[in-house]
Amino acid sequence: MKKRFQFFRSMRVGIILLVLIAVFSVLGTAIPQGKEIAWYAQNYRGFHGAILSLKLYDVFNSWYFQLLLILLGLNLIFCSLVRIRSVSKAKAIEKEIVLGLPQQYALDPARHDAVQTGLRAMRCREESAEKSSIYSKNGFGRYGSFLTHLSILLTILFGAMALYIPTTGDHACLPGEKVAMEDGTEIAVESFRIENEEGRLDFTSELTVTLPDGRDSGLREIKVNHPLSFGPWKIYQQTYGTAGAVTVQNLETGLEDTFTLTDLVFLSLDGVNGLWYEAVYPDLIRDPSGNVTLITNTSGSYPNPVYQVQTASDGVYTPILAFPGDELQVGSLKFRFENPVEYPGLRIKYTPPVINILLCAAFLLMIAGFYITFFCQPVLVRLDPDGCAVGGQKPEGMRIRIQEWMEERGTKDADRKDLFL
């Protein structure tokens, strides 16, 4: 059991878990997430079986991905506990080692004072050991490995929070309108286009995000795979739609208004006579006999939009196909069909600001851990009445400093005992 525990908390297991998490994360990024089953069967022929069986269409919510995160977290916890326990042992072991080292430099009283003054000027920690004194520098360097493992653990923990805590919602918004969020944030769609000037599919929205405190993003552009991040919000170009536009004029009063329509609706004054709006289609096909077939494929812009409506007059319903620019009159109402309006479907994701702050703190801790591990290794100096010895993980720098202090007092190389380990 002990061997199994030691194996589980080993670096090898941690690296294996990290590699697996990275592989599934890449797959989750490469394969669009959250689509319908039929979409994967159509777009990944030959591979959709594996995608469905491994739940690669929703990787980050799959049981095995969450299990890998938990196992990696436990591995790092155990590694951190072992390393924090080993710090106190390492200190005692290093002290014993430096006490057992032979003298590396011979010191007369003047040179002894020079070395002691230099060590104290470096603010080395001083301890008494029998007839000698132990000076230690960078003792906190023993915690470098622990801090590094802790920072990785916190990065995974806060990364999981960033993955599972944020809330996501889908919103359709017509150009010129706004989406109001619960905290008071407003997301205004200034414009949207399906195709660019060259006729290529573009799916581009121009947005302005205004936070509750008054800060705004300015006019920003989003496209597929190019979301907008501002404050705690991230906005994706998720889908799109085309809405009908009908201008209604009251012939008696002269007043008119334009309605943008996305669903079945009845435009009327008295609830009896008026216009039933059903849908708008990209185009139609007429066969030689005069029969009409509406094209329902909505990929791209509508080249020749067709309105499918019904007029209602004294209980008589008349189906009609109308085109932009056509006008119909029912009683005192005149209906004019305008060019359809293209609008985006936005996926809006909210991440609590504290999560980003915690992630930044974890990264800073990781940088500090790496720096302490590689550049702040503990160094110990045993200073005897007639000599000294240097130990620790990387004592070369301290040896150079001691030699410099000795040379300042006129020390000659011949007096040095080259007994390096």
Residue 309: per-residue pLDDT: 95
Please, which contacts does 3-11 make with residues 24 or more away whose CB atoms are closer than 8 Å?
5/78, 8/74, 8/75, 8/78, 9/75, 9/78, 9/79, 9/82, 11/79
- Collapsing DSSP to helix, strand or coil, 67 comes out as helix
Residue 1: per-residue pLDDT: 65
* Domain-wise residue ranges, the chain: 101-138+377-421, 167-241+344-361, 245-338
Locate all alpha helices (DSSP H) within 253-395, ordered by sequence.
Answer: 353-375
Answer yes or no: pTM beyond 0.75.
no
Place of tokens 């924090």: 84
Q: DSSP character for 106?
A: E
- Give the CA distances from residue 386 to residues 125, 131, 159, 188, 300, in Å, rounded to whole numbers and listed in that order: 20, 11, 56, 80, 89
For residues 52 and 43, is the Cβ–Cβ distance under 8 A?
Answer: no
Q: In a structure prediction context, what are the per-residue pLDDT tens digits for the chain, which is 421 residues long?
A: 667 767 777 778 888 888 998 898 888 888 888 777 777 877 887 777 888 888 888 888 888 888 998 888 888 888 777 777 777 677 888 888 898 899 999 888 888 999 999 999 999 999 988 788 999 999 888 888 888 888 988 988 898 888 889 999 999 999 999 999 999 999 999 999 988 878 788 889 999 999 999 999 999 999 988 999 999 999 999 889 999 999 999 999 999 999 999 899 999 999 899 999 999 999 988 888 878 888 887 677 898 999 999 999 988 999 999 999 999 999 999 999 999 999 999 999 999 989 989 999 999 999 999 999 888 889 999 999 999 999 988 888 999 999 999 888 754 443 444 433 3
Alpha-carbon span 351 to 23, nearest angstrom: 25
Alpha-carbon span 192 to 205, nearest angstrom: 4
For residues 373 and 144, is the Cβ–Cβ distance under 8 A?
Answer: yes
Residue 417: per-residue pLDDT: 44
For residues 303 and 282, is the Cβ–Cβ distance under 8 A?
Answer: yes
CATH number belonging to the domain at 101-138+377-421, selected among 3.40.50.720, 3.30.310.10, 3.40.50.10320, 3.40.140.10: 3.30.310.10
Residue 390: per-residue pLDDT: 94
Structure tokens at 260: 């943008």
Residue 89: per-residue pLDDT: 78
